[in-house]
Amino acid sequence: MSQYDVIGTRAPRVDAPAKATGRAIFVDDMSMPGMLYGALLQSPYAHALIRGIDVSAALKLPGVKAVVTHKEAGLVKYGVSPARYDETIFCYDKVRQVGDNIAAVAAVDMATAVEAASLIKVDYEELPAVFTIEEALADGAPLVHDDYKRNISAEVHQEFGDVEAALKECDLIKTTSLKSKRQDCAFIEPQGCIATYDLSGNLTLYSSTQTTHYVQRSLAMALGAPVGKVRVVKPYVGGGFGSKASASHLEMAACLLAMQTGKPVKMIFDREQVFLHGRARHQFVHTMTTGVKKDGTIMALKHEAWLNGGAYSSFGIATVYYAGSLLGGPYKLPNMKYDGYRIATNLPACGAQRGHGGVIARSCWEQQLDMIAEELGMDPLELRLKNIMTAGDVTCNDLDMSSLGMKECIEVVRDASDWKNKKGKLPQGKGIGMACGFFVSGAGFPIYRSETFHCTVTIKVTEDGGTAIVSTASAEIGQGSDTTFAMIAAEGMGIPLGMVRIESGDTDFGVDLGAYSSRQTLMTGQATKQAAENVKMQVLDALSKELHVPVEDMDIKKGYIVFKKDKPDLSALKTRYIKEHREWTDNPSLDDELSFREASRIAFFTKGTIVGTGMYKPPELGGKFKGAAVGTSPAYGCSAQIAEVSVDEQTGRITIEKMTDAHDCGQAINRTSVEAQMHGSMAMGLGEALFEEVKFDDKGRLLNGDLAEYKMPTALDMPPMEALIVESHEPNGPYGAKEVGEGNIMPTIAAVLNAVHDAIGVRIHELPLNPERVYLAIKEYREKNAKQ
Amino acid sequence: MKKELKFVVNGQTYDLWIEPKTVLVQVLRDELGLKGTKRSCDSGSCCACTVLLNGKAVKSCSILALQANGKEILTVEGLANGTQLHPIQEAFLDNWAFQCGFCTSGQMMAAKGLLDENPDPAREEIQLAMDGHLCRCTGYNMINEAIQDAAKRLQTQEEQGGAK
């Protein structure tokens, strides 16, 4: 039997009733008295000088209340990483991508705002533009930003161990590459916000965001307001996956318009704007050289990566670091060299997406490891097991695997998929492939350098002890974090889940860095646990004084006080409680156990409102080298996955027949929630493997900026998925828990690539695996074989 | 020039005057305040805005409100009977058929349209019927299972003589 009452169950989501009835309020469902509507004027050119902006016609249009440009917004540089603040709220000297923001209008309705924006005259002088990595690096190429020489917006050079020396000792050295395409997060709810500004100077932004804290700080910095005067509130959010993890121009513009007009201003992206400002997955081009011994021992990895970053840096520095650092495990790898380059181009800026930076690198390497296993005559699964890290291992780049059920995950998927009877034994056209991966449970450091707590949580008990209200600025964006924290709080206080109410996503509730880098379960979870235990101690402390029983001789379980030794006489306490609830029909009897409600009521008499607080900051983490901050984490979750596919060799069409996934999430807080994350991750990974690609024309304009032409998985594409939870105990996690949101996307693409090879013998080194690419690869493979 | 729109939404009769170009989702959300129906792509490609028009699933962003004139609309707000959830809602809730919940109203309405026509659909039939309904969170399997579960619940309800 579980030692826990709430943790590890399959409790329904706390937001389920609201979402099942259509009552969950998203930002576009909100309105306010006197609310205005805002629209952006965006650049039609990918690269152009701004010679002049004339807003007079827009201002004259009836119904227009304000027009703002860089003149009103100022030129404060902001962005994600302070080392690369390279954006202003509005462009002033030039535009760097189609969709770059020139101005914003507030008007009485959306149609008027859009019309007014179209009346703004901008005098552009078009400049030559660069769209590909090759174009951007060419001699004499125009610079996207003058500061980024050769258009390199960030570069990383790291070496751990001695790669060249190690390669000399290897029996087999293999070099391969993988090229991916830009992907979009494609959440179903477009970003939107409502900004309000009162005459006392309080700015409040309701926004579809993953990171209220970073938005609050960015607004305060760019608009020149104290942080305490800026409040960011997140209503229900319709998915994020990375794109909603930083302040957007939409949010900045809405706040500016609200400050100018003194009225609430609502702004919502249309779907094309989501694609233009999505800041999702970069395009990656990886080349890797791996050296192994005859027995399969991995000796060294030499890795070069090129990222097409688009017009602004956004998360890009972290992205290019992650692309290297997340190869340090989960295999024992003593020598690793990494050279990564993020290139600025005149395409829309890229940022973070689920599995930040690591997904394509992982895909490239895991396909290569399969090729190595094949050449060595080894089962690729055995090759992985031979090199696998276990708990306590530290990677060559100082990532401490404080818990790691990677080996168990491999064994679980091997057995569940019947790997041994299928690998290499399926009929032509059918194949099975596997891969592994791991991911951080929260970035070890905030995005800006700071000693800040990563999260603070308070729990307030209502005066009757009936409800404990958990307040956290963390972001429930669909992943289930509210449910997770409500469960942790209930367990920590020793009360049923039904007695906990959670309110989240509001900067007034404290600091929380938000939903990114799979950090909330571990970090906000720790702060919630601490706050809950703090509440419990306060209640027991008050009780101890009343009953003269030492605190350590008492506990709270399932909503009742547990007396570990002799049960004291409770009649006086119970009588006091019953006396002040005279004529109430649900009073406890004198013989009942003492409930949390009664005890909390007694505690209230002496202490006032019981408020428990908790906070979390990661312990000191390893790595003193440049860039060590990216990849270090208090814990790492890991996954092994097996894909079974069939390939139609006439058309090149791949069908995924089945996915089997095992993930080590530490202690599962809510088992169904863990499985739900595993399913969602696999679906996103399959989309990237098979279909997804944001396309542009030769002027940098979107070709498929809508959900019809941007191909992502639908119900018909999805195979049965088996999600198998492997539990370890993570010493740094709350109740031993760690991440599940992103680790599962790491192996998916490679599992498919390896399965395709098992099916038809063809290796493909470019994504997505759409029928055309697969068909041509088959054709090329056959022509090559025919010649031999 | 405004035209008259007279229709029934969730059992309530409405008589409105609207611009002829107004699409149904605008009337539902902006005129009637039924915010449970979501707007996402505005181009008929995601199905988040699905409602039932005389029992058939339609994308409310892609039909004119006037096409509903004289007809009956059912939205997510009309699914539950007071505080008693519809079996489809119960099944979605119990099977974790949503995460962010933004596509959920459309998914549930389409599920109702499907189950009204085919009370016992196989996994593949559900996949086919729900194909256009984009969801980025769940990976669809849990939605499919919820619909199979809802079919069972409706069956039981019918056997007990309490079908809605």
Q: Report the SS3 class of residue A524.
A: helix
Q: Record the tokens describing residue A606, joined without a space.
A: 């002496």
pLDDT on residue B164: 47
pLDDT(A616) > 60: yes
Topology (CATH) of A16-22+453-616:
Aldehyde Oxidoreductase; domain 4 (3.30.365)
In chain A, CATH 3.90.1170.50 covers 31-127+188-239+244-276
Percentage of chain A modeled with pLDDT above 70: 100
Choose the CATH number for A283-445+623-787 among 3.30.479.30, 3.30.365.10, 3.10.20.30, 2.60.40.420.
3.30.365.10
Homologous superfamily in CATH for domain B87-158 = [2Fe-2S]-binding domain (1.10.150.120)
Distance CA B77, CA A785 (A): 62
On whether the pTM is more than 0.90, the answer is yes
Tens digits of per-residue pLDDT, A31-54? 999 999 999 999 999 999 999 999
Residue B107 contacts residue B48 (beta carbons within 8 Å) = no
> Could you tell me whether strands A455-461 and A611-616 are parallel, antiparallel, or unpaired per DSSP bridges?
antiparallel
Distance CA A777, CA A765 (A): 10
Residue A676 has its nearest CB partner, among B46, B96, B101, at B96
Most B CBs within 10 Å: which of A15, A37, A188, A655, as the mutation test of the B interface? A188
* Mean pLDDT within A727-747: 97
Residue A318 contacts residue A81 (beta carbons within 8 Å) = yes
**Can you say how many angstroms the Cα of residue A345 is from the centroid of all Cα atoms in its chain?**
24
Most A CBs within 10 Å: which of B25, B99, B107, as the mutation test of the A interface? B99
Q: Does A763 touch chain B (CB under 8 A)?
A: no
pLDDT(A269) > 70: yes
Distance CA A482, CA A479 (A): 9
User: Beta strands of A405-542 (E only): which ranges?
Assistant: 430-440, 455-461, 468-472, 500-504
Q: Record the tokens describing residue A177, joined without a space.
A: 């590459």
> Could you tell me whether strands A468-472 and A500-504 are parallel, antiparallel, or unpaired per DSSP bridges?
parallel
Distance CA A374, CA A372 (A): 5
Choose the CATH number for B3-78 among 3.10.20.30, 3.40.50.150, 3.10.180.10, 1.10.287.610.
3.10.20.30
Tens digits of per-residue pLDDT, A534-557? 999 999 999 999 999 999 999 999
Confidence band of B162 (pLDDT split at 50, 70, 90) = low
The domain locations on chain B are 3-78, 87-158
Q: Report the SS3 class of residue A204.
A: strand
Most B CBs within 10 Å: which of A19, A237, A484, as the mutation test of the B interface? A19
SS (H, E, C) A130-155: CCCHHHHHCCCCCCCCCCCHHHEEEE
Q: Which residues of A touch B40 (CB under 8 A)?
A: 188-190, 238, 271, 707
Tens digits of per-residue pLDDT, B65-110? 999 999 999 999 999 999 999 999 999 999 999 999 999 999 999 9
Q: Which DSSP symbol is given to B31?
A: I
Residue B46 has its nearest CB partner, among A25, A188, A683, at A188
> Could you tell me whether strands B50-53 and B72-74 are parallel, antiparallel, or unpaired per DSSP bridges?
antiparallel
Distance CA A573, CA B100 (A): 45
* Mean pLDDT within A369-392: 98
Confidence band of A265 (pLDDT split at 50, 70, 90) = very high
Which residue of chain B comes nearest to A708, CA vs CA? B45
pLDDT(B163) > 60: no
Amino acid at A286: H
Topology (CATH) of A31-127+188-239+244-276:
Aldehyde Oxidoreductase; domain 3 (3.90.1170)
Q: Record the tokens describing residue B156, joined without a space.
A: 């039981």
State the ipTM, two decimals. 0.97
Residue A706 has its nearest CB partner, among B45, B108, B141, at B45
- How many Cα atoms within 13 Å fall on the side-chain side of residue A323? 39
pLDDT(A783) > 60: yes
Residue A319 contacts residue A630 (beta carbons within 8 Å) = no
Residue A392 contacts residue A323 (beta carbons within 8 Å) = no
Tens digits of per-residue pLDDT, A327-356? 999 999 999 999 999 999 999 999 999 999
